[in-house]
Amino acid sequence: MWKLLLTFSLLCWTSEGSVTCRNENNGEVDWYILYKTPKTNTLQGVEYLYIDSQGMRRGTKAINDPQGVLANTLKTLFQPVGSMPPSFGFISYGDQLPKDVASQNFGHSKGVLLVNESGTGIWLLHSTPKFPYARDENSFWPSTGVKNAQTFICVTFPYDEFRKIGKHLQYIRAFPFDHRIPGDFHTELQDVVNKADVPPDDNFQQLTSSKRSNFYSIAKNHSSADDDGEDLYVNIAQKVSSDLLVQTWGCQMGRDTSFCKENKFKVENINTTATSLGQWNNTKDHSKWCVAKDPENNWMCVADVNRGPSQYARRGGALCINDKKIKDIFQNFANKIEDCQNRSLLDILNIMNPDCDP
Protein backbone atom coordinates (compact mmCIF):
# COMPACT_ATOMS: atom_id res chain seq x y z
CA MET A 1 0.00 0.00 0.00
CA TRP A 2 2.79 2.46 0.90
CA LYS A 3 4.43 1.90 -2.51
CA LEU A 4 1.11 2.70 -4.19
CA LEU A 5 0.75 5.88 -2.15
CA LEU A 6 4.34 6.93 -2.93
CA THR A 7 3.80 6.32 -6.64
CA PHE A 8 0.55 8.31 -6.58
CA SER A 9 2.15 11.24 -4.73
CA LEU A 10 5.05 11.36 -7.18
CA LEU A 11 2.66 11.32 -10.13
CA CYS A 12 0.72 14.20 -8.60
CA TRP A 13 3.93 16.13 -7.98
CA THR A 14 5.02 15.58 -11.59
CA SER A 15 1.73 16.80 -13.04
CA GLU A 16 1.29 19.82 -10.73
CA GLY A 17 4.89 20.62 -9.90
CA SER A 18 6.79 20.60 -13.20
CA VAL A 19 9.87 22.71 -12.63
CA THR A 20 9.42 25.59 -15.07
CA CYS A 21 8.94 29.33 -14.97
CA ARG A 22 5.21 30.04 -14.63
CA ASN A 23 2.98 32.97 -15.43
CA GLU A 24 0.12 34.51 -13.42
CA ASN A 25 -2.26 31.81 -14.67
CA ASN A 26 0.18 29.10 -13.53
CA GLY A 27 0.93 28.26 -17.16
CA GLU A 28 4.38 26.93 -18.03
CA VAL A 29 6.59 29.47 -19.82
CA ASP A 30 10.12 29.33 -21.18
CA TRP A 31 11.27 32.63 -19.66
CA TYR A 32 10.22 36.03 -18.38
CA ILE A 33 11.62 39.25 -16.93
CA LEU A 34 9.82 41.23 -14.21
CA TYR A 35 10.44 44.89 -13.42
CA LYS A 36 8.85 45.74 -10.07
CA THR A 37 8.06 49.35 -9.18
CA PRO A 38 9.24 51.18 -6.05
CA LYS A 39 6.79 52.47 -3.44
CA THR A 40 5.96 56.10 -4.24
CA ASN A 41 3.08 58.53 -3.77
CA THR A 42 1.27 56.82 -6.65
CA LEU A 43 2.65 53.27 -6.55
CA GLN A 44 2.36 50.59 -3.84
CA GLY A 45 5.68 48.95 -4.69
CA VAL A 46 4.04 45.62 -5.64
CA GLU A 47 3.13 46.46 -9.26
CA TYR A 48 5.34 45.15 -12.03
CA LEU A 49 5.85 44.87 -15.77
CA TYR A 50 5.92 41.34 -17.22
CA ILE A 51 8.23 40.92 -20.22
CA ASP A 52 8.73 37.86 -22.42
CA SER A 53 9.30 36.95 -26.08
CA GLN A 54 5.82 38.30 -26.91
CA GLY A 55 6.55 41.77 -25.51
CA MET A 56 5.57 43.65 -22.36
CA ARG A 57 2.39 43.98 -20.33
CA ARG A 58 1.36 45.16 -16.90
CA GLY A 59 1.12 42.44 -14.25
CA THR A 60 -2.46 41.83 -13.14
CA LYS A 61 -1.60 40.61 -9.62
CA ALA A 62 0.67 41.97 -6.92
CA ILE A 63 4.26 40.69 -6.90
CA ASN A 64 3.62 39.13 -3.45
CA ASP A 65 0.31 37.46 -4.37
CA PRO A 66 0.28 33.80 -3.22
CA GLN A 67 -1.26 32.95 -6.61
CA GLY A 68 0.95 35.32 -8.58
CA VAL A 69 3.79 34.84 -11.02
CA LEU A 70 6.59 34.43 -8.43
CA ALA A 71 4.56 32.21 -6.09
CA ASN A 72 3.50 30.03 -9.04
CA THR A 73 7.11 29.76 -10.23
CA LEU A 74 8.37 28.78 -6.77
CA LYS A 75 5.49 26.41 -5.95
CA THR A 76 7.72 23.32 -5.87
CA LEU A 77 9.85 25.06 -3.23
CA PHE A 78 6.91 25.55 -0.87
CA GLN A 79 6.85 22.08 0.68
CA PRO A 80 8.73 20.30 3.48
CA VAL A 81 12.12 19.01 2.39
CA GLY A 82 11.11 15.51 3.48
CA SER A 83 8.21 15.57 1.01
CA MET A 84 10.35 16.53 -1.97
CA PRO A 85 10.91 13.79 -4.59
CA PRO A 86 14.45 12.36 -4.84
CA SER A 87 14.75 13.86 -8.35
CA PHE A 88 14.20 17.44 -7.09
CA GLY A 89 16.77 19.85 -5.71
CA PHE A 90 17.05 23.57 -5.01
CA ILE A 91 19.49 26.30 -4.06
CA SER A 92 18.51 29.72 -2.70
CA TYR A 93 21.53 32.03 -2.70
CA GLY A 94 22.10 35.62 -1.66
CA ASP A 95 24.28 38.02 0.28
CA GLN A 96 21.40 39.61 2.28
CA LEU A 97 19.67 36.65 3.89
CA PRO A 98 16.22 36.52 5.49
CA LYS A 99 17.71 36.96 8.97
CA ASP A 100 21.43 37.58 8.42
CA VAL A 101 24.07 38.73 5.94
CA ALA A 102 26.75 36.72 4.16
CA SER A 103 30.45 37.43 4.41
CA GLN A 104 31.72 39.90 1.83
CA ASN A 105 34.08 37.18 0.69
CA PHE A 106 31.05 35.86 -1.18
CA GLY A 107 29.50 37.48 -4.24
CA HIS A 108 26.95 40.28 -4.25
CA SER A 109 24.39 38.02 -5.91
CA LYS A 110 20.85 36.76 -5.38
CA GLY A 111 18.86 33.97 -6.98
CA VAL A 112 17.07 30.63 -6.81
CA LEU A 113 17.65 27.36 -8.66
CA LEU A 114 14.92 24.71 -8.79
CA VAL A 115 16.00 21.55 -10.58
CA ASN A 116 14.31 18.32 -11.65
CA GLU A 117 17.00 15.78 -12.48
CA SER A 118 14.69 13.95 -14.88
CA GLY A 119 13.43 17.02 -16.71
CA THR A 120 13.92 20.77 -16.48
CA GLY A 121 14.72 23.40 -13.90
CA ILE A 122 14.68 27.16 -13.47
CA TRP A 123 17.23 29.83 -12.76
CA LEU A 124 15.60 32.88 -11.15
CA LEU A 125 18.16 35.68 -10.88
CA HIS A 126 16.97 38.78 -8.99
CA SER A 127 17.97 41.86 -6.99
CA THR A 128 15.67 41.64 -3.92
CA PRO A 129 17.32 41.30 -0.49
CA LYS A 130 15.98 38.53 1.80
CA PHE A 131 14.11 36.81 -1.04
CA PRO A 132 12.64 34.26 -0.74
CA TYR A 133 11.95 35.16 2.88
CA ALA A 134 10.46 31.72 3.61
CA ARG A 135 9.58 28.55 1.73
CA ASP A 136 5.89 29.37 2.04
CA GLU A 137 3.50 30.85 -0.52
CA ASN A 138 2.03 33.22 2.06
CA SER A 139 5.31 34.60 3.40
CA PHE A 140 7.89 34.21 0.61
CA TRP A 141 7.95 37.97 -0.02
CA PRO A 142 10.01 40.08 2.45
CA SER A 143 8.29 43.15 3.89
CA THR A 144 11.42 45.13 2.99
CA GLY A 145 10.95 44.23 -0.69
CA VAL A 146 8.28 46.87 -1.30
CA LYS A 147 10.40 50.03 -0.98
CA ASN A 148 12.65 49.89 -4.08
CA ALA A 149 12.29 48.87 -7.71
CA GLN A 150 13.68 45.37 -8.40
CA THR A 151 14.26 43.04 -11.36
CA PHE A 152 13.75 39.29 -11.79
CA ILE A 153 14.67 37.08 -14.73
CA CYS A 154 13.43 33.48 -14.82
CA VAL A 155 14.55 30.97 -17.45
CA THR A 156 13.57 27.31 -17.82
CA PHE A 157 16.58 25.14 -18.68
CA PRO A 158 17.10 21.44 -19.41
CA TYR A 159 18.79 19.60 -16.55
CA ASP A 160 22.15 19.30 -18.34
CA GLU A 161 22.50 23.10 -18.59
CA PHE A 162 22.78 23.23 -14.79
CA ARG A 163 26.38 22.02 -15.06
CA LYS A 164 27.22 25.39 -16.61
CA ILE A 165 24.90 27.32 -14.28
CA GLY A 166 26.55 25.62 -11.29
CA LYS A 167 29.94 26.67 -12.64
CA HIS A 168 28.73 30.26 -13.02
CA LEU A 169 27.55 30.31 -9.39
CA GLN A 170 31.03 29.19 -8.39
CA TYR A 171 32.60 31.96 -10.50
CA ILE A 172 30.50 34.58 -8.69
CA ARG A 173 30.92 32.74 -5.37
CA ALA A 174 27.21 32.72 -4.61
CA PHE A 175 26.33 32.11 -0.96
CA PRO A 176 23.80 29.20 -0.64
CA PHE A 177 21.65 30.02 2.40
CA ASP A 178 19.05 27.30 1.82
CA HIS A 179 19.49 24.21 -0.29
CA ARG A 180 18.77 20.57 -1.00
CA ILE A 181 20.95 18.98 -3.68
CA PRO A 182 20.78 15.15 -3.83
CA GLY A 183 24.06 13.28 -4.00
CA ASP A 184 23.61 12.13 -7.60
CA PHE A 185 23.08 15.66 -9.00
CA HIS A 186 25.74 17.39 -11.13
CA THR A 187 29.05 17.83 -9.32
CA GLU A 188 28.96 21.54 -10.18
CA LEU A 189 25.79 21.95 -8.09
CA GLN A 190 27.30 19.93 -5.25
CA ASP A 191 30.28 22.31 -5.32
CA VAL A 192 28.02 25.35 -5.04
CA VAL A 193 26.42 24.15 -1.79
CA ASN A 194 29.90 23.18 -0.55
CA LYS A 195 30.97 26.81 -1.17
CA ALA A 196 33.73 26.02 -3.65
CA ASP A 197 35.96 29.00 -4.51
CA VAL A 198 36.71 28.89 -8.25
CA PRO A 199 38.51 31.75 -10.08
CA PRO A 200 36.10 33.47 -12.49
CA ASP A 201 36.11 33.03 -16.23
CA ASP A 202 34.92 36.39 -17.61
CA ASN A 203 33.88 35.07 -21.02
CA PHE A 204 30.28 34.69 -22.10
CA GLN A 205 28.91 31.20 -21.47
CA GLN A 206 26.01 30.24 -23.74
CA LEU A 207 22.97 28.63 -22.11
CA THR A 208 20.06 27.24 -24.14
CA SER A 209 16.58 27.28 -22.62
CA SER A 210 14.08 24.43 -22.83
CA LYS A 211 12.47 26.09 -25.88
CA ARG A 212 15.84 26.72 -27.55
CA SER A 213 16.27 30.42 -26.71
CA ASN A 214 19.88 31.45 -26.16
CA PHE A 215 21.01 33.22 -23.01
CA TYR A 216 24.53 34.09 -21.91
CA SER A 217 25.98 34.19 -18.41
CA ILE A 218 29.06 36.23 -17.58
CA ALA A 219 31.12 36.69 -14.41
CA LYS A 220 33.25 39.78 -13.96
CA ASN A 221 37.01 39.90 -13.91
CA HIS A 222 38.42 39.68 -10.39
CA SER A 223 42.12 40.23 -10.85
CA SER A 224 42.96 43.53 -9.11
CA ALA A 225 41.20 46.42 -7.43
CA ASP A 226 42.25 49.00 -10.06
CA ASP A 227 41.47 46.84 -13.10
CA ASP A 228 38.64 48.21 -15.27
CA GLY A 229 37.29 44.68 -15.42
CA GLU A 230 36.43 44.91 -11.72
CA ASP A 231 33.40 46.90 -12.87
CA LEU A 232 31.10 44.23 -14.31
CA TYR A 233 29.51 46.71 -16.71
CA VAL A 234 32.83 47.92 -18.10
CA ASN A 235 33.67 44.25 -18.64
CA ILE A 236 30.37 43.65 -20.47
CA ALA A 237 30.71 46.82 -22.58
CA GLN A 238 34.07 45.68 -23.93
CA LYS A 239 32.77 42.15 -24.57
CA VAL A 240 29.74 43.29 -26.58
CA SER A 241 31.60 46.18 -28.28
CA SER A 242 29.06 48.84 -27.37
CA ASP A 243 28.60 51.70 -24.94
CA LEU A 244 26.12 50.69 -22.23
CA LEU A 245 23.29 52.36 -20.36
CA VAL A 246 23.32 50.97 -16.81
CA GLN A 247 20.79 51.00 -13.98
CA THR A 248 22.19 50.23 -10.53
CA TRP A 249 21.19 51.35 -7.05
CA GLY A 250 21.49 55.13 -6.71
CA CYS A 251 22.17 54.91 -2.96
CA GLN A 252 25.25 52.72 -3.31
CA MET A 253 27.91 54.10 -0.94
CA GLY A 254 30.62 55.73 -3.06
CA ARG A 255 28.54 55.22 -6.22
CA ASP A 256 30.79 55.63 -9.24
CA THR A 257 30.21 58.16 -11.99
CA SER A 258 29.81 57.07 -15.60
CA PHE A 259 32.86 55.32 -17.05
CA CYS A 260 34.25 57.50 -19.82
CA LYS A 261 37.81 56.34 -20.43
CA GLU A 262 39.29 57.19 -23.81
CA ASN A 263 39.51 54.34 -26.35
CA LYS A 264 37.13 52.15 -24.34
CA PHE A 265 33.42 51.56 -24.65
CA LYS A 266 31.58 53.75 -22.17
CA VAL A 267 29.28 52.87 -19.26
CA GLU A 268 26.71 55.59 -18.59
CA ASN A 269 24.58 55.64 -15.44
CA ILE A 270 20.80 55.89 -15.74
CA ASN A 271 19.57 58.55 -13.32
CA THR A 272 15.84 58.29 -13.99
CA THR A 273 13.72 55.39 -15.25
CA ALA A 274 10.39 55.98 -17.03
CA THR A 275 7.89 53.16 -17.60
CA SER A 276 4.19 52.84 -18.33
CA LEU A 277 3.70 52.31 -14.58
CA GLY A 278 5.49 55.47 -13.55
CA GLN A 279 8.80 57.29 -13.34
CA TRP A 280 11.39 57.14 -10.56
CA ASN A 281 14.98 58.07 -9.70
CA ASN A 282 17.80 55.57 -9.28
CA THR A 283 17.73 56.28 -5.53
CA LYS A 284 14.44 54.34 -5.49
CA ASP A 285 15.68 51.62 -7.83
CA HIS A 286 17.66 48.65 -6.47
CA SER A 287 17.51 46.77 -9.80
CA LYS A 288 20.67 46.04 -11.74
CA TRP A 289 20.53 45.89 -15.53
CA CYS A 290 22.26 47.21 -18.60
CA VAL A 291 21.44 47.65 -22.26
CA ALA A 292 23.57 48.35 -25.33
CA LYS A 293 23.45 51.96 -26.51
CA ASP A 294 24.51 51.18 -30.09
CA PRO A 295 21.37 51.05 -32.31
CA GLU A 296 22.74 48.00 -34.13
CA ASN A 297 23.63 46.11 -30.95
CA ASN A 298 20.88 44.14 -29.18
CA TRP A 299 22.44 43.06 -25.87
CA MET A 300 20.54 43.40 -22.59
CA CYS A 301 21.62 41.91 -19.23
CA VAL A 302 20.07 41.46 -15.79
CA ALA A 303 22.91 41.64 -13.30
CA ASP A 304 24.00 41.19 -9.67
CA VAL A 305 26.16 44.14 -8.67
CA ASN A 306 26.11 47.92 -8.30
CA ARG A 307 28.79 50.40 -9.34
CA GLY A 308 31.19 51.51 -6.61
CA PRO A 309 34.55 50.56 -5.06
CA SER A 310 33.08 48.20 -2.46
CA GLN A 311 31.27 46.34 -5.24
CA TYR A 312 34.35 46.18 -7.43
CA ALA A 313 36.09 44.23 -4.67
CA ARG A 314 33.37 41.54 -4.75
CA ARG A 315 32.34 39.00 -7.32
CA GLY A 316 29.25 39.29 -9.46
CA GLY A 317 27.79 38.48 -12.82
CA ALA A 318 24.85 38.73 -15.18
CA LEU A 319 22.46 36.78 -17.36
CA CYS A 320 22.16 38.32 -20.81
CA ILE A 321 20.04 38.03 -23.94
CA ASN A 322 20.78 39.26 -27.45
CA ASP A 323 17.30 40.23 -28.62
CA LYS A 324 16.15 43.46 -30.31
CA LYS A 325 12.65 43.47 -28.82
CA ILE A 326 13.97 43.15 -25.25
CA LYS A 327 16.80 45.60 -25.89
CA ASP A 328 14.35 48.23 -27.22
CA ILE A 329 12.06 47.84 -24.18
CA PHE A 330 14.87 48.47 -21.72
CA GLN A 331 16.52 51.19 -23.75
CA ASN A 332 13.20 53.05 -23.69
CA PHE A 333 13.15 52.80 -19.88
CA ALA A 334 16.31 54.92 -19.71
CA ASN A 335 15.00 58.47 -19.25
CA LYS A 336 17.70 60.76 -17.82
CA ILE A 337 21.29 59.70 -18.39
CA GLU A 338 24.55 60.75 -16.74
CA ASP A 339 26.27 60.79 -20.11
CA CYS A 340 29.96 61.38 -20.61
CA GLN A 341 29.40 64.89 -22.01
CA ASN A 342 27.14 66.06 -19.20
CA ARG A 343 28.36 64.75 -15.87
CA SER A 344 27.79 67.08 -12.92
CA LEU A 345 28.43 67.27 -9.20
CA LEU A 346 24.72 66.51 -8.60
CA ASP A 347 25.16 63.20 -10.41
CA ILE A 348 27.98 62.33 -8.07
CA LEU A 349 26.08 63.30 -4.90
CA ASN A 350 23.01 61.05 -5.23
CA ILE A 351 24.04 59.47 -1.95
CA MET A 352 22.96 62.76 -0.27
CA ASN A 353 19.42 62.30 -1.57
CA PRO A 354 16.79 61.95 1.22
CA ASP A 355 15.51 58.79 -0.49
CA CYS A 356 18.71 57.09 0.71
CA ASP A 357 18.83 55.63 4.20
CA PRO A 358 21.32 57.33 6.55
Residue 176's domain comprises 18-199
Please report which confidence band the pLDDT of residue 99 belongs to, taking 50, 70 and 90 as the band edges. confident
Residue type (1 letter), 101: V
| Residue at which a domain ends, from 148, 167, 199 | 199
Verify that 175 and 282 share a domain, yes or no. no
- Asked whether residue 281 is assigned to any structural domain, the reply reads yes
Verify that 243 and 330 share a domain, yes or no. yes
pTM of this structure = 0.92
Please report which confidence band the pLDDT of residue 292 belongs to, taking 50, 70 and 90 as the band edges. very high
Verify that 141 and 173 share a domain, yes or no. yes
Query: Could you tell me which residues come within 8 angstroms of residue 75 by beta carbon, excluding any fewer than 6 positions away?
Result: 16, 17, 22, 26, 137
Q: How many CB atoms lie within 10 A of CB 68?
A: 22
Taking residues 263-279, report their average pLDDT. 97
- Asked whether residue 23 is assigned to any structural domain, the reply reads yes
Verify that 168 and 76 share a domain, yes or no. yes
Verify that 133 and 186 share a domain, yes or no. yes
Verify that 157 and 60 share a domain, yes or no. yes
- Residue 123 pLDDT exceeds 60: yes
- Asked whether residue 48 is assigned to any structural domain, the reply reads yes
- Structural domains in the chain (count): 2
- Asked whether residue 347 is assigned to any structural domain, the reply reads yes
- Asked whether residue 205 is assigned to any structural domain, the reply reads no
Please report which confidence band the pLDDT of residue 223 belongs to, taking 50, 70 and 90 as the band edges. low
Burial of 194 (0-12, 13-18, 19+ CB in 10 A): exposed
- Residue 356 pLDDT exceeds 90: no
